[in-house]
Amino acid sequence: MKKRLSIAMVAPPFGDTGGPEVAVLNLAEALEKAGAEVTLFAPGDWHTSVKHVATLPKSIWNMKKEEKLEIDSLRMQSQMLVVEQSDNFDIVHFHCQRFSHFAAEKIKKPTVLTMHNNFSDEMLEEMKKSGMKIVALSDAQARGRDVDAIIGHGLPMKNIKPSYEKGKYLLFLGRIAEQKGVDTAIEIAKKTGKKLYIIGRIGNTKERKKYFTENVESFVDEKQIFYLGTVEHEKIYEYCAGAEALLFPIKRPESFGLVSLEALACGTPVIGTKVAPLPEILRNEKVAFLSDKTEELIDAVKNIDRFDRHACRKYAEDNFDSLVMAMKYLELYEKILKNI
């Protein structure tokens, strides 16, 4: 009988509702369903069905100000805890670009790092020197550089209930930051007369708070423009399913764009910009419309019937199911172990 592959999955130390964090949870649970034995090293307030080792008492996002004065120390601690237990696993898989290489250098077993954010050439070289195998999320993120694999995100499709009824509002989902284009989403809603629900973290920096005050809060009237703050991830799927479309007018390249997949899984089309990696992952005109011209995005909202909600769901199932993602990672793990 073949021994189950034992994997230590080391998560970022923040809340469990951000894009990278949700991706880690989805991967851990999909790998377990695919036959691996997964232990998730993550903050104590995360919720998961796999074995869970608490790296911090709770997520940094959920700590009081006085609890996270030494934030770099907390981030380091969250990555280093696995070191003393690493010999119990076949593979140690990190998901935090900062500090993980310090842990990897002390681990004898093979290590992997998924890059959830864009990265410089210098960072890539530093990570590789620690011995980690590097995974990029998209061709756009990798940019032709020497990574060990390109594996996109996946979602647990069986757990996500789609809606094939026409939605009642537009949805913006993501960090409240200039690069996410929430100001463009508000403009689109205003010019089409549609309701807009905005969901996302404001952040704690002065810059982020100022951006929210000037570009979002001043437009929130609870009649047409609504700011809902952050919500539990299961509720995000409900909001996606109830939307006419997800507005995703990002202004700078991202590593992947998980929220666009979440919308499609719920049967909801995506209207966004032609900024990488969206043209790479959204290749069907029945499920998405991309343009760098706001006027064309407005026109797409006005002609929402051009999309097919059944096609949205099928596109997500065919391309982005979490079990497909898990199998690609298992192939990578086996390849790494054969070459030890």
At 49-60, the pLDDT tens digits run 999 999 999 988
pLDDT at position 155 is: 94
List alpha helices for 112-257, DSSP H.
121-129, 139-142, 182-192, 206-215, 233-241
Judge whether residue 1 has pLDDT over 80: no
Domain at 157-319, CATH from 3.30.230.10, 3.40.830.10, 3.40.50.2000, 3.40.190.10? 3.40.50.2000
Q: pLDDT of 75-126, one tens digit each? A: 999 999 999 999 999 999 999 988 999 999 999 999 999 999 889 999 999 9
Q: In 59-154, which ranges are E strands? A: 91-94, 111-114, 133-136, 149-150
Same topology between domain 6-154+321-338 and domain 157-319:
yes
Strand-pairing partners, residue 272, are: 248, 290
pTM of this structure: 0.85
User: Which uninterrupted H or E stretch holds 197?
Assistant: strand 196-199
| Sequence ranges of the domains in the chain | 6-154+321-338, 157-319
For domain 6-154+321-338, the CATH architecture is 3-Layer(aba) Sandwich (3.40)
